[in-house]
Amino acid sequence: MNRAERLARLLRVLAAIIAEPGLNPIELADRAGVSERTLRRDLAQLRDLGYEVAYTSGYEVQEKLNLEGRARRRPRGRGDDALLQAVAQAVETAGLWRDTEGTDAAVPRRVRPRRSAIGATVLIPSGAQDPDFIHATGFGVESGLYIRFQDGDDVLVVSPLEIDRARAEARASKILEEREAYVHDEWARLAARMLREKGVTTVRVSPNLTAGHLEDLRAEGLDVEVDRTLFVAERRHKRAEEAAAIQAAQRAAESAVVEVVRALAQAEIRDGVLWSDGDPLTSEHLYARAQLVLGEKGFTCPDMIIAGSPDSAIPHHRGSGPIQANAPVIIDIFPTSRSAHFSGDLTRTVVVGEVSEEVRHMHAAALQALDAGIESIAAGVPAQEVHHVVCQVLVDRGYGTSTKGFEGPDGVAKMNHSTGHGVGLDVHEQPALRDTVTTPLDEGDVVTVEPGLYLLGLGGVRVEDTGMVTKQGFRNFTTLTRSLNPRDYL
């Protein structure tokens, strides 16, 4: 490379720094049209020439210039910036600039599009069950791209593998097929190209977007905002068909719980352990029976809880091994529809054999708290208030919680979780019924109410219903008995 070419490249790098301070190394190399390895050498040369190039959150150049190397410096005027950029443009136009020193493949130079006030929503699914992607498109897919430029102007792009299913199931004004982005996993690059065609450079994305795709979008020159409130309000308010889908999931959950309880009721007790068909009855066996029932109805729940004691004292213990008799078994099933994608959530606790007075009292307190929580629910009621009502009942019955002001006495069974949560495309979504949430419940929210009490070494009890918030109160989607006795379910 001759001296003119080298000077032209240095001017190009410097012009890029001046035009947009604070760029990260990848972005700066992209703006200057050089490889990252060449960029590092060029920055060192610029420092030797007297430019104070510093690295903070990105590359920045100080407003000083030394035309005589390391000698005395003079302040730079604003005209220098324009001059440098003009010179850089001129030498490039003359054909003097090119990156021939980089041993890495040079990054192709792209002209940075001007910022536009127009924004767009860009979704790249984190998996086939990405709730924001499904909400926007009505379509669950492992990989693809959705862009909403504005209301009524949106596009869904999928692979040849998914195009026919997308045309049959998805809702978008345009549905396109794209092979190369699918094969090379270049959905971000495709998004940038489609956005540039419409003059859009500012986009918002879902918090579910993977870090890799987020970096790729930004590397393409897009101004990306992770919108933590994206679709939250829309997803909270359940339309009639969405509420019906959750009710269907709740009915599937009830069927699966009945199947599990039937197997428990039919088991025999040997030396304090439940047996069935000549083998100990295990959580794994009960899990398989529940999954079979759900699968036949078009639902799935890979992380369901069927936990015998003493493991049931840990609220989210999935359960494993033989089921103990004369001790509580927590059955928590939250199935998701394979077609509608909406979920339900149901928990019941049963005991096979003798029920101790301690467990009976814990269960009675949980039931009373459940009823009190349900009765306190209505549109406009702060979510925090529902949680406090439940906590107060548990404390009044001699138990405790992990919520400040409702701790109860030491050494007793306690509730160490929130009272409930929203249910929809996610099993756990907004709103949360917990101590820190002071915002009111809205008409159309679907929430759980699930008080529980847990004591290490003994076990736990939890009872959970799911229903909808209305102006009048709580419309319960759950019809199953809450009894401790397995035979009451048959």
136: containing domain:
119-230
Query: pLDDT class for 87, splitting at 50, 70, 90?
Result: low
248 has a pLDDT exceeding 70: yes
The residue ranges of DSSP E strands in 3-138, in sequence order, are 53-55, 59-61, 64-65, 74-75, 119-123
**125, HSE (Cβ side, Cα atoms, 13 Å):** 23
Nearest in space to 50 (alpha carbons), one of 14, 1, 91, 20:
14
What pLDDT shows up at residue 174? 97
On whether both 331 and 350 belong to a single domain, the answer is yes
For the segment 386-390, the average pLDDT, to the nearest whole number, is: 98
For the segment 453-471, the average pLDDT, to the nearest whole number, is: 97
Last-in-domain residue among 205, 230, 255: 230
User: 25-32 and 3-19 are packed helices; what angle lies between their axes, rounded to 10 degrees?
Assistant: 130
For the segment 226-247, the average pLDDT, to the nearest whole number, is: 96
For the segment 441-450, the average pLDDT, to the nearest whole number, is: 98
The more confident residue out of 81 and 115 is 81
171 has a pLDDT exceeding 70: yes
What pLDDT shows up at residue 11? 78
What pLDDT shows up at residue 486? 98
Computed over every residue of the chain, the mean pLDDT equals: 87
On whether both 224 and 133 belong to a single domain, the answer is yes
For the segment 307-330, the average pLDDT, to the nearest whole number, is: 97
What's the pTM?
0.75
Report d(CA 248, CA 254) in Å as an integer: 10
What pLDDT shows up at residue 83? 52
Last-in-domain residue among 179, 197, 230: 230
Nearest in space to 433 (alpha carbons), one of 452, 416, 448:
448
State the DSSP H helix or E strand holding residue 348, giving kind and residue range, or none if neither: strand 346-351
At 4-62, the pLDDT tens digits run 666 777 777 777 777 666 666 666 777 777 776 677 677 767 666 666 665 443 444 44
On whether both 167 and 280 belong to a single domain, the answer is no
Report d(CA 421, CA 450) in Å as an integer: 9
On whether both 206 and 324 belong to a single domain, the answer is no
465-469 and 474-476 beta bridge pairing: antiparallel
The more confident residue out of 358 and 79 is 358
State the DSSP H helix or E strand holding residue 136, giving kind and residue range, or none if neither: helix 131-137
Specify the range with the lowest mean pLDDT, choosing from 113-122, 229-238, 404-413. Answer: 113-122
> Under DSSP, is residue 121 helix (H, G, I), strand (E, B) or coil?
strand
Which residues, 6+ apart, have CB-to-CB distance to 280 below 8 Å? 273, 274, 322, 323
Please report, for the domain that includes residue 346, its CATH number.
3.90.230.10
Please report, for the domain that includes residue 209, its CATH number.
3.40.350.10
Structural domain contains residue 111: no
On whether both 28 and 51 belong to a single domain, the answer is yes
At 389-415, the pLDDT tens digits run 999 999 999 999 999 999 999 999 999
